[in-house]
A and B are shown apart, each in its own frame.
Chain A
Amino acid sequence: GAVVSQHPSWVICKSGTSVKIECRSLDFQATTMFWYRQFPKQSLMLMATSNEGSKATYEQGVEKDKFLINHASLTLSTLTVTSAHPEDSSFYICSALLVSETEAFFGQGTRLTVV
């Protein structure tokens, strides 16, 4: 299957700083990328949908100014957690959708810990 690479796998940052997470589709062009947040032993909560070259569509209750999403190319989307606080600590997962496929492919996830 298609490969989606997410970086970093884990990050620890100080409260008030910003953290950028990258999501790359390695061997295909992704028309759409999705960003999810997952709390321990819970399901994935969709944060936003991003399409290359356009603004991301955020789900209700997700602060767009706090979770900045950039989708500059068909192979790269980034999520920046701005002014991070301990409550932002979570597991963030991206996924990418191919034009020709029906299933999405997921990155390895990023464990963010804000101290």
Chain B
Amino acid sequence: AQSVAQPEDQVNVAEGNPLTVKCTYSVSGNPYLFWYVQYPNRGLQFLLKYITGDNLVKGSYGFEAEFNKSQTSFHLKKPSALVSDSALYFCAVRDIYGSSNTGKLIFGQGTTLQVKP
């Protein structure tokens, strides 16, 4: 079964410092990986995805993520954090190998990012 793990419930970082939000996955075959961000009482906003190609993926708002096949990781990064980046972040893998092949997303538990001034 496919799964995604975000080992940290919360990440705290000072504004201007680099940030990393961790994600590891377990899938059969090649994964479709995603990062989404959620602000309070809002839906999810797409940040970036890895399907194939370069392991370093650049996305919205200055975020990037590195796909590491040997470590089965897809950590989210940003060189310089902003207070406005404070939100809930979800890593997800798309289920393209299920018997129904619906393409549904399997989410990690979520990581709250707190950026302090």
Contact = CB atoms under 8 A, between A and B. Distances in A.
A6 interface: yes
Q: Is the interface of A mostly helix, strand, loop or mixed?
A: strand
Interface stretch (B15-23, B45-53, B69-77, B78-86): B45-53
A49 B104 contact: yes
A103 B41 contact: no
B103 interface: yes
A25 to B, nearest CB: 13
A106 B45 contact: yes
Given A57-B100, A102-B94, A107 B41 contact: no
- What's the interface size class on B, roughly? 20 to 34
Nearest to A51: B102
Interface string A27-69: 0000010100000011110100101000001000000000000
A111 interface: yes
30 contacts: A1-B46, A34-B104, A41-B110, A41-B112, A42-B109, A43-B90, A43-B107, A44-B44, A44-B107, A49-B100, A49-B102, A51-B102, A91-B41, A93-B43, A93-B44, A95-B44, A97-B103, A102-B32, A103-B34, A103-B46, A103-B49, A103-B94, A104-B105, A105-B46, A106-B36, A106-B43, A106-B44, A107-B43, A108-B43, A109-B42
Interface of B: 32, 34, 36, 41-46, 49, 51, 88, 90, 94, 100, 102-105, 107-110, 112
